[in-house]
Structure formats: C-alpha cells, structure tokens
Structure 1
Amino acid sequence: MTGLQRWPGRYTDRHGSEDVVFESDGRKLIRTTIRGVRFESDSMDDLGAVGGEPPERMFSFFDGGLCSCLLEWEVPVPVEVRGRGMRPGVLRCALRLGDPAGPGRGLDAETLTTTLLLDGHEFRNTEEQDDFERALQDIQRQLPRAARMKACIACAWSDYSPYGNGLMAGLACFRDIKDRYRRVEGKRGPGNIFDVWEDLTEYVQETWLCPEFEHRGTHEGYRGPFP
C-alpha cells in the first residue's frame, strides 16, 4: 500500500453526525473536512483545524484538537492465510474522544475499538484500548493460527520507543538498517534499541504496508513478538 489512501468514515458529536473521508499517507499525515472545516494531524486523537480554530459552537477542542466526539473510519488490512494466500481484510475503527477533564488533566476518556472484517467473520478487540498496538495484538490473538495480519504492526522491521507511544503513528521503521536492527535485544546492554534509534527510516502508522514487509518472527527487538 503506497500513496495517499482514502478511508470512508463518520464524525459524530452533540451537534449531529455526517459522513466524511479521511486522507492519509500512512505515515504522518491524516486530513479530512468536517462541516466545511479542514482538519489535519499525524494522529486521529489530535486533529486540529487548519488555519486556526473555528467557532466553538461548531466543535469542541482541547489543546487545539477535536474532542467530545466519535470518529469512525475503515482501513484496508490484508491478512495472509496459510494455504489460501492473501485475503482482503477491512479494519473498522471507532475512536471516542471524551470531554476536557480540567486544566492539565487531558480528556476524561479516550477509547479505541477495532473490528477486523475477514471472509464474513468479525474479530474485535475484547477490551476498549487507548492505542493501536494493543488493539491489533488483541485481534491477532483471536485469528485462526494460520492467519496473520500483513501491516507494519506485524512487520519484522518495526519497533516502538522505550519512552512510550501514543494512539498511532509512533511506530518506527528500520527497513534501511535491517542487519543492525536484527541485533537489537532490548533497551540495555549490547545491541540495545538506542544504538539504532537515530538511524530509523521513518515513523509509520500501524496499519500501513510497504513492499519490504516481512512477518515478525522469533527476533523480538525491543517491543517483543507480534503478538
């Protein structure tokens, strides 16, 4: 999957609901238009209005990002099934952004629900999560043993920072230094993640996919296997 993707979606808040289309490069760009206002960010939980905030009567904001709303969208996620080849999967995502909890306290809720639609079956993360890492790990555990998602989250060359990660798009790709990344065994000692971090290729979204994808195997890197 390369180039600009278009994800069908929906936006809902106290003023109503409307169909929208999210555009993304799969790395650090997400943009959409809601009620005639252009929004853009690198993550769905931080969509800010381009050119300044519109009147608050149209939307709710916290630190410049949309809140008090529900964002829904669908992303293509292929699944490789042993003996059957590649199957077209669709990941249905729903992100509920709560109300501001007060100065310096963030939102009172932020929950992510993901459902993988595959060959007439649905696989949903069993608990509401706050990031794609855990949500997609949960779905992979539910898939039949012969089925494996084919996306950056499941790739041999991707890893997270030991300092943590947000909702999405904080997945580091090391495809340009594969030999060095293969030696990563944690965050301390010889071959630690910090030895290669400055040479990462780019940051990507968990659901992105490039031609150099390889399934994550026994090499655990810093973040461990998937799942």
Structure 2
Amino acid sequence: MSGGQFWPGLYTDRHGTEAVVFETDGRELIRTTIRGVRFEGSNMDDLGALGGDPPDTPFAFFDGALCSCLLEWEVPLSVAVEGQGVRTAVLDCALRLGGPAGPGRGLDAETLTTTLRLDGHEYRNAEGDDDFEDALNEIQRQLPSGVRLRACIACAWSDYHPIGHGLTGDLACFRTAKDIYRLVEGKRGPDNIFDAWDSRTEFVQETWLCGEFEHRTATHTGYRGPFPAPAWP
C-alpha cells in the first residue's frame, strides 16, 4: 500500500492481548496480522480473514468479520494552532465489538472511543458517538479557540451521502471537482449533492489528509453542513 500509514495498536479478546500494527491506504483498505493470521477489511468493524475461510487460531466472527473483541490503535492527526502553525497530535482510538445479537440483528454492542492528545490535554468524544464523523465533531467542539483539526473530516471538499455511512471511510472527496461541489447547497433543489455525487474523486477516511486540504467554513457547507456540526440541544 504505497503512501499508506501504519497505526500501532492492540487486539484483545478472551484469549488474551496482542500488539498489532494496522496498515491503511487512507481510503477503503485496512490490514493487520493477528496471531499469525492476515486480516483485511474496508473498516475496523469489517476485518475478515484474508483467505476467506475461518482460521484455525481461535477468533470470534460475525458475518465473516471479527467480533467479541477490543481493537485499539493510534492515529497521527494534524492540528492547526493559531500563532503556532501546524502541529501533530495523537488520536487514540478504541473500538469494542460485541458478540452476535441473533440472526439478522448484527452485534449486540459496538462502542467507539476516541481521545485526542495535545500538549498534555485530552479531548474525548461523547459516550454514544458511533462513528468517526460524530466523534471528531465532538472533539473539535471541545478544542480551545484557534485550534482546528486538519484532516479530511474538516476539509471544504468532503461530504457524505444522504443515505448514511459506516464507521469510517465513506467520506467522499471532491478535490478534483471543486467547481461542481462548490455549488452544492443540500440534498434538494437545483444544486444538490445527488447531482454532484458521481463527480467525486474517491472515498477517504475522516482522519486522512492530502495536499488539497482547505478548512471547511460557514460560507459553504455542502450537504453535511459546517465542521464542527452544531451540538444537539
């Protein structure tokens, strides 16, 4: 995966804890090796054995993906600090995946915790946030004035599809279609996100960053609105 990142982390289940490294291309691919078994998926809650068949090593699966476990990893995250320029912070992530809830019902629990560590301070997402969009919006709302996340979730050229999205990686980037995306004003009307959708460049993870980054402002909010989104009352 050329140009990818390597996230150090831990895998824990009832059989114990193992240090792992997650490899990602920042888009739609995550890989890791756990107890000698190679796993791959488009998301942290969708990691399946690369060979397709359940491995001999003990793991728990639901619909072909790991479950009944805790995944932890560290992501470097750029932060723009007024008067100081761009800094690098660390985003600690923990995803607890429960067991099967029953046929057709998914997992009985899926809990995401993210903690941004910057200058000795910790900023954590609210309990109940179930994806990186909500978690990073919450963290940005907590940051001091003049401190802004510098990542795809905060970029002027990114948006979501109105039907919804998963844990991470469903953020559409429009960096090669800026003139088209600049016109988007919502999901209805003459300049809607559906008309622009097929012009997207690619899908990216919320924590990714490229050289085309521009801070999202209140003057153009596309379909998903400003970043950070206003907190629910």
Paired residue secondary structure (1:137) = helix
Percent of aligned pairs sharing the same letter: 73
CA deviations 1:93-146 (Å, max 9, x no partner) are 000000100000000000100000111111011223210000000000000010
Residue 210 of structure 2 corresponds to 210
Alignment partners' CA distance in 2, 1:77 and 1:49: 28
Q: Which amino acid aligns with 1:79?
A: V
CA deviations 1:46-92 (Å, max 9, x no partner) are 00001123347610000000000000000000100111111110100
CA deviations 1:11-53 (Å, max 9, x no partner) are 0001110100000010111000000000001100000001123
Paired residue secondary structure (1:172) = strand
Paired residue secondary structure (2:6) = strand
Conserved? CA contact 1:113–1:128, under 8 Å:
no
TM-score normalised according to structure 1 size: 0.97
1:108-127 → structure 2 map (5 Å cutoff) = 108-127=108-127
Alignment partners' CA distance in 1, 2:123 and 2:182: 31
Range that drifts further, 55-64 or 118-127: 55-64
Alignment partners' CA distance in 2, 1:40 and 1:161: 24
CA deviations 1:128-186 (Å, max 9, x no partner) are 32100000000000000100000000000000000100100000000111011111000
Residue 28 of structure 1 corresponds to 28
Residue 227 of structure 2 corresponds to 226
Runs of 4+ in 1 over 6 A off after TM superposition: none
Residue 90 of structure 2 corresponds to 90
Conserved? CA contact 1:157–1:173, under 8 Å:
yes
Paired residue secondary structure (2:45) = helix
User: What is the CA RMSD across the aligned residues, in angstroms?
Assistant: 1.1
Residue 231 of structure 2 corresponds to none
Alignment partners' CA distance in 2, 1:56 and 1:121: 43
Structure 2: any 5+ residue segments left out of the alignment? 229-233
Alignment partners' CA distance in 2, 1:13 and 1:154: 34
Conserved? CA contact 1:9–1:71, under 8 Å:
yes
Paired residue secondary structure (1:19) = strand
Q: Tell me: CA distance 1:23–1:44, structure 2 relative to 1, closer, same or farther (3 Å).
A: same
Structure 1: any 5+ residue segments left out of the alignment? none
Alignment partners' CA distance in 1, 2:4 and 2:57: 32
Q: Tell me: CA distance 1:129–1:56, structure 2 relative to 1, closer, same or farther (3 Å).
A: farther
Aligned residues: 226
Conserved? CA contact 2:79–2:149, under 8 Å:
yes
Alignment partners' CA distance in 1, 2:215 and 2:178: 13
Alignment partners' CA distance in 1, 2:179 and 2:56: 51
Conserved? CA contact 1:185–1:191, under 8 Å:
yes
Conserved? CA contact 2:181–2:196, under 8 Å:
yes
Q: Which amino acid aligns with 1:30?
A: I
1:25-64 → structure 2 map (5 Å cutoff) = 25-55=25-55, 58-64=58-64
TM-score normalised according to structure 2 size: 0.95
Alignment partners' CA distance in 2, 1:5 and 1:57: 27
Alignment partners' CA distance in 2, 1:188 and 1:118: 40
Alignment partners' CA distance in 2, 1:216 and 1:97: 32
Alignment partners' CA distance in 2, 1:117 and 1:145: 16
Tell whether 2:194 aligns with 1:194: yes
